[in-house]
Structure 1
Amino acid sequence: MPAPALFVASGLTQYLGAALAIGLFVQIPAPGVAWLRLVVAAAVLLVWRRPWRLRWTRRDLSVVALFGATLAAMNISFYLAIEHLPLGTAVAIEFVGPVTVAAITGSGWRERAGIGLAAVGVVLLAGVTLSLGSPGAVVGLAWILVAAVCWAGYILLGRKVAIGPDGVTSLSVAMAAGALFFAPLLAARSAPVLGSWGLVGAVVGVAVLSSVIPYGLEQIVLRRVSAATFAVLLAMLPATAAVVGAVVLRQWPHGLDVVGLLLVSGAIALTSVRRRPRVEAIAPA
Structure 2
Amino acid sequence: MTTALRISGTTSGTAMAFAAMCCVQMGLAVSVGLVDRLGAGGVAWLRLAWAAVILVAIARPWRIRFSPAALRTCVLLGVATAGMTILFMAAAERLPLGTAVALEFLGPLGVALVRGRGVSRLWALVAGAGVVALTEPWHGQTDGVGVLFALGAALCWAAYILLTQRAGDAAEGLGALAVSMPVAALVATFTVGPEAFTHLDWRLLLAGVGLALLLPVVPFSLELLALRRLTAAAFGTLMCLEPAIGMIVGLAFLGQVPSPFAILGIALVIAAGIGATRTGNRPPVTTSPETLPVA
Fold-level similarity (TM above 0.5): yes
Give 1:209 deviation, angstroms: 0.9
Where does the alignment leave 5 or more consecutive residues of structure 2 unmatched? 1-10, 284-295
Structure 1, gaps ≥5 residues long: 279-285
* Cα drift, residue 275 of structure 1: 3.0
The yes-or-no answer on 1:121 pairing with 2:130 is yes
Shift of 1:168: 1.4
2 CA distance for matches of 1:49 and 1:33?
24
* Residue aligning to 2:243: 238
Number of the residue aligned with 2:202: 197
Q: Structure 1 142/225 Cα, relative in aligned 2: closer, same or farther at 3 Å?
A: closer
> What is the percentage of aligned positions where both structures have the same residue?
37
Give SS of 1:253's match: coil
Change (3 A) 1:106 1:261: same
> Structure 1: how far apart are the matches of 2:133 and 2:154?
17
> Is the 2:45–2:188 contact (alpha carbons within 8 Å) kept by the matching residues of 1?
yes
Count of equivalent residues: 271
Corresponding position of 2:161: 155
1:145 is aligned to 2:154: no
Q: Deviations over 1:195-244 (max 9, x none)?
A: x22221232222111122334555777789999x9899755433222221
Q: 2:98 touches 2:247 (CA, 8 Å); kept in 1?
A: yes
1:176 and 2:186 matched: no
Q: Tell me how far apart the structure 1 counterparts of residues 118 and 214 of structure 2 sit (CA, whole Å).
A: 37
Contact 1:80–1:143 (CA<8 Å) still a contact in 2? yes
**What is the distance in 2 between the residues matched to 1:187 and 1:226?**
35
Report the Cα distance in structure 2 between the residues aligned to 1:65 and 1:223, rounded to whole angstroms: 19
CA gap 1:233/1:107 in 2 versus in 1, 3 angstroms: closer
Structure-to-structure mapping, 1:193-272, within 5 angstroms = 193-194=199-200, 196-217=201-222, 234-271=239-276
Change (3 A) 1:97 1:226: closer
AA partner of residue 169 (structure 2): I
Distance apart, 1:163 and its partner CA: 0.9
Task: Label 1:192 to 1:20 Cα distance change in 2 as closer, same or farther (>3 A).
Answer: farther
- Per-residue CA deviation, residues 156-177 of structure 1 (Å, 9 max, x unaligned), is 2222201113151111210101
The one-letter amino acid of 1:142's match is: L
CA change 1:121–1:239 in 2 (3 A) is closer
Q: 1:220 to 1:170 in 2, by over 3 A?
A: closer
Task: Note the alpha carbon deviations across 1:111-150, whole angstroms, 9 max, x for none.
Answer: 0x2343344333333336x73836xx22222211111111
- The offset of 1:245, in angstroms, is 1.1
Alignment check: 8 A CA contact 1:69 1:178 kept: yes
Q: Go from structure 1 to structure 2 and tell me whether the alpha carbon gap of 1:143 and 1:267 turns closer, same or farther (over 3 Å shift).
A: farther
Tell me the distance in 2 between the aligned counterparts of 1:87 and 1:263.
Answer: 19
Query: TM-score when scaled to structure 2?
Result: 0.79
CA distance in 1, matches of 2:66, 2:228: 26
Partner in structure 2 of residue 80 of structure 1: 90
**Do the aligned partners of residues 198 and 173 (structure 1) sit closer, same or farther apart at CA in structure 2, a change above 3 Å counting?**
same
- Residues 9 and 157 of structure 1: CA distance in aligned 2, closer, same or farther (over 3 Å): closer
Deviation at residue 253 of structure 1 after TM alignment: 0.7
Q: Which residue of 2 aligns with 1:68?
A: 78
Match of 2:65 among 51, 55, 60: 55
Q: What TM-score comes out, normalization by structure 1 length?
A: 0.81
Closer, same or farther: CA 273–31 of 1 in aligned 2, 3 Å: farther
Compute the displacement of 1:107 (Å): 2.7
Say which of 12, 24, 29 aligns to 1:14.
24
Q: Structure 1 CA distance, aligned partners of 2:158 and 2:64?
A: 28
Q: Equivalent residue of 1:85, what SS?
A: coil
Paired residue for 1:133, among 141, 145, 151?
A: 141
